[in-house]
Structure formats: structure tokens, C-alpha cells
Structure 1
Amino acid sequence: MNPYVGPVRTCVGCRQRAAKSELLRVVVGPGSDGRPAVVPDPASTAPGRGAHLHPTVECYELAVRRRAFSRALRVKEGLPAVPVGEHLTTRATDQ
């Protein structure tokens, strides 16, 4: 029996499964300098391949350390994930 309601995804940081609604979707998009970067997609509407992450700084740091974003998003080069980190720290200070 599935204890989750709705679709289930795996966090690229901690590798734990969770309901899709509890995770932040990230995609490859334009960074602040216009170059490709890993960017947050809180509405889950951006086109293309996405990866999911618990919206915590701990899971973000694990994903960066493990280089999980490039692997999950299937890009060859390491992309900066600074926009995701900024999104999470801004979100944490708002609460």
C-alpha cells in the first residue's frame, strides 16, 4: 500500500521518496547572467526534464556535493545551482 497521496518522486539530495507536492522541482533554465543554470520551478510548469528536491538547505547542499543536479537533469557539464540556493534561503527567511 502506498502511504503517499498522489505522485511520488525521489529527492536528488537525500534520495528519500516523498509526495511530489512536498518537493521543489528544478530545471535547467537561464541564470541571472543569462547562461544555463539549475533554477527552481515552484509551479512545476516549466518545460523539459526536471528533478525534485526537498525545499531545505540541507538537501540542496547534499545535491550540490554529490553533483546530483547534472546527473538528474542529464547535462554533461556542471551547471551552477546558485538560483536554487537563493530561492531556498529567501524562502527560509520569509517563514
Structure 2
Amino acid sequence: MGCRVRTVKSELLRLVVVEGEIVPDQRGRLQGRGAYVHPALGCLELAERRRAFPRSFRVAGPLDVACLRASLAGLDVE
């Protein structure tokens, strides 16, 4: 979604919307429409710039990515 580089699903992080906030779904079991990004801040930033999240999740308006950004900051190894 963000960098548009294709890779295997196991290397991507699944995201879902919970009460207007994008949260990481580490186990892949949360309900709802999912979107996938690389677990890197650069990929997240590209997706935000392209306004890809509302399209991917099929919702109107902006979505909160604060929780996701904090989670990726802890995981990021760049």
C-alpha cells in the first residue's frame, strides 16, 4: 500500500480500523477490512501522503494513525 513493493504476506503488517483509529493486527485475527504495509515508518509515511488508508478501508475522512506510528517506532529497525 505505502511503497507498493510486492512481497509475501508474512513480511507485511496487517492493519485494521478500530473506532476510527488504525491499529496493527499482529495475529491477523481482528475483525474488519484489513490493509497491509511493510513494518517500517517509511512505508507508513508514503501511505499517508498518498491518502491510501481511507481508500483501502473504504471509509470517509481522515483516520488516526498515532497508535500505529508509535507501534512502528518501536518495531522499526531502519
Q: What TM-score, normalized by structure 1, do the two folds share?
A: 0.76
What is the percentage of aligned positions where both structures have the same residue? 45
Secondary structure at the aligned position of 2:70 is classed as helix
Gaps of 5+ in 2: none
Q: Which has the larger radius of gyration?
A: 1
1:37 aligns with one of 7, 17, 21: 21
Deviation at 1:78, TM superposition (A): 1.1
Deviation at 1:46, TM superposition (A): 0.4
Matching of residues 1-95 of structure 1 within 5 Å: 12-30=1-19, 36-92=20-76
RMSD: 1.2
Decide which structure has greater helix share.
2
Segment of structure 1 superposing worse, 77-86 or 45-54: 77-86
Distance 1:51 1:22 in 2: 13
- Size of the alignment, in residue pairs? 77
Moved over 3 A (4+): none
Q: What TM-score, normalized by structure 2, do the two folds share?
A: 0.91
Gaps of 5+ in 1: 1-11, 31-35
